[in-house]
């Protein structure tokens, strides 16, 4: 079903991320001189697999094959199972002439990457981020996608792909995995990229921890599995923010529930079911999103309103175990404009979840109406709370107005 603009519900749900992915692949389809390298963890989008099939021999792919046996049945489950969508897609791509490598590195092949190469086989553009090539990744979860038109960034990802495609188990010992790649741009931000797995997890995680510890204004974050890494360096640094005079805002997706970490340090659980019962239509029929993670972002933003603003993002879960065992990328972008974009997303997700949580504590619903002047009502003006010393409202005013 399409609307009068020819859009399906998937175009709306996938929003700009879907457009970026579709456009990236379509450019290769339309230009026979381009080649495509592809790295996937989840892979169950029929339309995407069909497009990859059409690229045929111009495609190379690295697809996760992690799996485990069910304790009761002994049946192999996961991406490595013969009947998994990833295995079926791998077989289809191989038949179409593509070269496919299946790997889990030492736990998971967790990259979500597309790389365009020209007729000289030089990497020219790369798409990366936290978004899995799956229904859940693109249409249900909160995720992010980045496209770099920088030949330097593309070349770095291209080298990573070549090594992972050829000898994934050896990547942990590669010089590329043991150093941070710094790509400077004369008219753009400096980009720092690290690739895992690597033995020294401090290589990639220390810059995140240092940025959090050195933040003087604010820290915004949205991390899918933060509750599983409370003892990790990043988890500890975020927890310690509550004892510092730094504004912090965050969302955490735990097993079975969503949490919002408020600037005052308190936690709240956002319950999908509550609004399903209380909200008017059409919101009452809102789908809860099913089981699994709903907030899948993995990003941290520090001091967005200062010249020293930094963004950390990518496919990495920001945990030592993942950095040591998974195929992942972690990017640091030093740019205030990009930091602002991620902060807007952080606030969007936070407000969406905090709204649910606050609704659970609402008593009688007040009619929304304009307030009369203080001279008539004798009540404080609407903006008074934004000037109360040490209040969250005042902190909001000062942070977001500069």
Domain that holds residue 159: 9-359
Instruction: Please indicate, yes or no, if residue 1 is contained in any of the structural domains.
Output: no
Per-residue pLDDT, averaged over 131-160, amounts to 96
Q: Are residues 123 and 250 in the same domain?
A: yes
Residue-wise pLDDT tens digits, 309-325: 999 999 999 999 999 99
Provide the token pair at 165. Answer: 């495609």
Instruction: Please indicate, yes or no, if residue 4 is contained in any of the structural domains.
Output: no
Counted domains in the chain: 2
Residue-wise pLDDT tens digits, 247-266: 888 876 654 455 666 666 55
Residue-wise pLDDT tens digits, 337-390: 999 999 999 888 877 776 666 666 666 666 777 888 888 888 888 888 888 887
Spatial contact of 295 and 253, defined as CB atoms under 8 Å apart? yes
Residue-wise pLDDT tens digits, 203-246: 999 999 999 999 999 999 998 887 677 678 998 998 888 788 88
Instruction: Please indicate, yes or no, if residue 113 is contained in any of the structural domains.
Output: yes
Which positions ≥6 away from 33 have C-beta within 8 Å? Answer: 118, 119
Using CA atoms, how far apart are residues 87 and 100, in angstroms rounded to an integer? 11
Residue 296 scores a pLDDT above 60: yes
Greater confidence, 12 or 274?
12
Strands 247-254 vs 218-223: parallel, antiparallel or unpaired? parallel
For the entire predicted model, the pTM comes to: 0.88
- The pLDDT, as a whole number, for residue 269 is 47
Instruction: Please indicate, yes or no, if residue 301 is contained in any of the structural domains.
Output: yes
Q: How many CB atoms lie within 10 A of CB 89?
A: 24
Q: Which domain CATH number covers 248?
A: 3.30.870.10
- The pLDDT, as a whole number, for residue 274 is 59
């Amino acid at each position: 079903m399409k609307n009068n603009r020819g859009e399906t519900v998937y175009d709306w749900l996938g929003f700009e991320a879907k457009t970026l992915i579709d456009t990236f692949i379509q450019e290769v389809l339309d230009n026979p001189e381009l080649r495509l390298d592809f790295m996937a963890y989840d892979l169950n989008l029929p339309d995407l697999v069909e497009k990859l099939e059409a690229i045929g021999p111009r495609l190379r792919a690295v697809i996760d094959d992690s799996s485990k046996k069910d304790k009761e049945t002994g049946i192999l489950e996961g991406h490595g199972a013969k009947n998994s969508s990833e295995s079926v897609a791998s077989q289809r791509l191989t038949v179409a002439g593509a070269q496919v490598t299946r790997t889990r590195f030492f736990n998971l092949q967790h990259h979500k990457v597309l790389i365009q190469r020209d007729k000289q086989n030089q990497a020219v553009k790369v798409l990366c981020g936290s978004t899995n090539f799956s229904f859940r990744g693109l249409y249900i979860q909160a995720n992010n996608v980045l496209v770099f038109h920088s030949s330097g960034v593309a070349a770095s990802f291209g080298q990573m792909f070549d090594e992972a495609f050829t000898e994934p188990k050896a990547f942990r010992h590669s010089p590329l995995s043991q150093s941070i790649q710094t790509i400077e741009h004369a008219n753009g931000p400096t980009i720092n990229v690290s690739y895992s797995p690597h033995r020294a997890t401090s290589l990639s995680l220390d810059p995140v921890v240092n940025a959090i510890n050195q933040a003087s204004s604010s820290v915004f974050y949205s991390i899918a599995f933060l509750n599983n890494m409370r003892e990790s360096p990043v988890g500890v640094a975020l927890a310690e923010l509550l004892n510092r005079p730094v504004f912090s805002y965050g969302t955490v997706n735990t097993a079975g529930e969503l949490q919002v970490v408020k600037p005052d340090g308190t936690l709240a659980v956002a319950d999908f079911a509550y609004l399903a019962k209380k909200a008017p239509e059409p919101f009452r029929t809102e789908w809860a999103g099913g089981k699994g993670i709903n907030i899948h972002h993995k990003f941290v933003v520090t001091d967005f309103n200062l010249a020293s603003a930094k963004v950390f993002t990518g496919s990495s879960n920001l945990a030592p175990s993942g950095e040591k065992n998974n195929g992942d990328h972690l990017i640091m972008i030093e740019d205030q404009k990009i930091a602002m974009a991620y902060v807007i997303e952080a606030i969007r997700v936070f407000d969406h979840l905090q709204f649910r949580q606050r609704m659970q504590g609402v008593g009688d619903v007040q009619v929304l109406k304009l307030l009369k002047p203080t001279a008539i009502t004798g009540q404080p003006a609407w903006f008074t709370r934004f000037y109360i010393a040490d209040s969250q409202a005042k902190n909001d005013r000062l942070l977001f107005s500069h």
